[in-house]
Amino acid sequence: MSTFDKAEIENLQDLCKIKLTQTEQENFLKDLKQIIDYVETLNEVDTKNVETCNHVLADFQKNVFRKDEIKKPMDREKFLSNAPDKIASMIKVPEIISKN
């Protein structure tokens, strides 16, 4: 792994087009070193017999569609009882596009 020093931080500032104060540079350098140390620790783990994983939820990615079933619709009054505001038998929503 590469090591970060003050010159690297200044180069990163130029590449990212940001300005860091002296304190921010020191904190950033410290944080980057902690990240690099953590990655190096992870590299010590033996992963020879571990299968590659392209997606952590691969086992759950199945066809989630179900067959359409015709059912009796919900009672309108029951449906409208949860609406914060209504007009006649419709849900009233805030205006999104002005008339002007």
- Residues 62-76 have pLDDT tens digits of 777 778 899 999 998
Is 25 part of any domain? yes
The pLDDT value given to residue 2: 62
Longest Cα–Cα distance of the chain, Å, equals: 70
- Least confident interval from 3-7, 23-27, 60-64: 60-64
| CA-closest candidate to residue 13, choices 25, 27, 31 | 25
Is 24 part of any domain? yes
Is 100 part of any domain? no
Number of domains in the chain: 1
Name the pTM for this structure: 0.46
What CATH number is attached to the domain comprising 38? 1.10.20
Is 10 part of any domain? yes
Mapped onto helix, strand or coil, the DSSP state of residue 85 is coil
Parent domain of 31: 6-43
